[in-house]
Chain A
């Protein structure tokens, strides 16, 4: 089992709709969870971080964490074509700063 799993997509969403991205992780002791956005040929850019159960909202983005289910998600409201990118879920392994990434979900927002 991979440490961090995401559906690789592609996920297509019409402009203005909500895009929902999901991620599961295997290490129950993981404490920090991140969503990064990566445009083609560029390095990842931090979108959201979340550390405790529940929802965290920042503008059009909402991260949701459920540690009991070992599940973290990212919702993008009012999706824009500029949101088209690969979204990477990352988790820190317990006791370390080391980030482990999922394989990424390619998201396409259709005008």
Chain B
């Protein structure tokens, strides 16, 4: 069964609004979670590393004020896309390492901004 759960799986929002995506580790504690974005026919691009109890680490070119990450507990990280625009439409995926060795992914969230 799934070890990392992501919600919602699909969301459509109006331009200018904010959207929150949740990522939960189901049977293990994750001090670190990762957020990826994937555009059609492209690979996964790491956006940021979410650290429990501290600030997220963002990859170069990712706006931290636009993509807010909160990792308030050992099993939950959230990504909020603020003031979403159509170019933010993408597939967002979170992941976490279980037992420090292998990364498992959430089901992904298909965001469409209209």
A contact residues vs B (CB 8 Å cutoff): 32, 34, 36, 41-46, 49, 88, 90, 97-104
Contact = CB atoms under 8 A, between A and B. Distances in A.
A67 to B, nearest CB: 17
Given A43-B107, A43-B108, A44-B105, A101 B43 contact: yes
B85 interface: no
Interface SS of chain B: strand
B34 A99 contact: yes
Nearest to A6: B43
10 contacts: A36-B105, A41-B91, A43-B93, A43-B105, A45-B105, A46-B102, A46-B104, A100-B46, A101-B44, A103-B42
> Closest 5 interchain pairs by CB?
A43-B108, A43-B105, A103-B43, A101-B44, A101-B43
B101 A99 contact: no
Interface of B: 6, 32, 34, 42-44, 46, 49, 91, 93, 95, 97, 100-108, 110
A88 B46 contact: no
Nearest to B49: A98
Residue in A42, A43, A49 whose Cβ sees the most chain B Cβ within 10 Å: A43
Nearest to B45: A101
Contacts of B103: 34, 46, 90, 97, 99
A49 B101 contact: yes
